[in-house]
Amino acid sequence: MISLILFLVFTILLIINLPIALAIIFATLVTMLFTIDTLPAITTIAQRLAVGIDSFALLAIPYFILSGYLMGQGGIAARLVNFAKTLVGRLPGGLAYVNVISCALFGSISGSSVAATSAVGGFMIPAMEKEGYNRPFSAAVTVTAATTGMLIPPSNILIIYSLASGGVSIAALFIAGYLPGILVALLLMLACALYVKRNKIKPLEKEAIDPFWPSFIGALPSLLLVFVIIGGIIGGVFTPTEAGVVAVLYSLILSVVIYRELKISDLYPILIKSVITTSIVMLLIGSSSAMSWLMTYESIPQDISQLLLTLSDNPLIVLLIINLILLVIGTFMDMTPAVLIFTPILLPVVENLGISPLHFGIIMILNLSIGLCSPPVGSVLFIGCSIAKVNITEIIRPIIPLYLAMIAALVLVTIFPAISEFLPTLLGLI
């Protein structure tokens, strides 16, 4: 009954379009009133809001958010696109592959799918249209490819999963995301290749591609950020939180001093945007902490775990069911609250079946990444449509093969844990 009240109230509040953080808080409060007196319920929620964000690991999030905004406006995306052109631009339909690679590179550096969609899509979508691609397909490629930044580190959502899971190593999660992220990018490129063959898209003209070494040297400072951040974390030079500070300083120097795409006067609005985004994320974390506490208090995760385990004791069947649940959740709930709410519910289920929290974390993030480019809530989808100036109805048909590519990657990562665990095991992180 408590579970029914909690999720029913939460769903109703989402339907009436209440901001999701407030929906979580009010649903938790209403449910608590059935089990706890009014004053203790309000006090408990206030305490959980404070305790939920009282974590040293979360200090990394505002720094990575700020570095993502700096990179988005600092000329990094243009240099990554030029470098990607030198790699695959001479292939038939090379601009589609350039789009995927650029989004993956920029997403891995900025840690933001929204930033990748905005920064890369802003000039890749018009460029692809000029070369014979239709605009909805170009937008679909950008939208789906931008989600690889959720897997390839540094990624804020992996830090949030570490918190929600009770302390899975952030360094291990960062390294675990590389191969799945690359797999998604490769399968998206395969889907693009089928489109290119069907529509007989020609390669770029040789004059449209910069020489390799100048473009590589231009992109090298941006690419080095990944090695600095990840190498520093793995080598024990600094913690993930300190890595966020390094990312801010590096991207600031890169954008203002080296590339000179940002002026000092541009920093104030960037700081304001970072503060607003950080506030939203932290409120979501705090409110989700209150709901997670209530679910634990009422043994909801244990009840759901027992229910799922009665359906099958085969890990693959249970993971299939969980993946279907998460695919549905991802279509109407943003990734951050979904991770915070459903990790405590679903993680005990998979742990009882011998599946590692690391592997499950990558499955969950990859799964919910599909929701970022799915209606009705997909934030990346709406941003991509806005940049491309197309309606969602126009993008649905060209995005379906790309959806199938992402789902194929999800199936492979689910079935083969080594895709997630090979690199962390090789580096001694697990």
Nearest residue to 75 (alpha-carbon basis) of 250, 259, 274 = 259
CB 358 within 8 A of CB 350: no
Q: Is the pLDDT of residue 427 over 70?
A: yes
**CA distances in angstroms from 145 to 109, 395, 406, listed in the order given:** 14, 14, 9
CB 365 within 8 A of CB 159: no
CA atoms of 150 and 112, how far apart (whole Å): 7
CA atoms of 416 and 179, how far apart (whole Å): 12
CA atoms of 406 and 424, how far apart (whole Å): 23
Angle formed by the axes of helices 335-352 and 300-311, nearest 10°: 60
CA atoms of 322 and 313, how far apart (whole Å): 13
CB 141 within 8 A of CB 99: yes
pLDDT at res. 406:
97
Structure-model confidence comparison of residues 129 and 368, the more confident one: 368
pLDDT at res. 37:
63
pLDDT at res. 326:
92
Structure tokens given for 328: 């549905």
CA atoms of 301 and 295, how far apart (whole Å): 7
Q: What whole-number percentage of the chain has pLDDT above 70?
A: 98
**CA distances in angstroms from 42 to 7, 290, 399, listed in the order given:** 19, 10, 45
CA atoms of 412 and 409, how far apart (whole Å): 5
Give per-residue burial for 122-160: e unless 16+ CB within 10 Å, then b. eebbebbbebebebbbbbbbbbbbbbbbbbbbbbbbbbb
Question: Tens of pLDDT along 260-317?
Answer: 888 988 999 999 999 998 898 888 888 888 888 888 787 877 787 788 878 888 889 9
What pTM did the predictor assign? 0.88
Q: Is the pLDDT of residue 36 over 70?
A: no
Averaged pLDDT score across all residues of the chain: 87
CA atoms of 295 and 310, how far apart (whole Å): 20
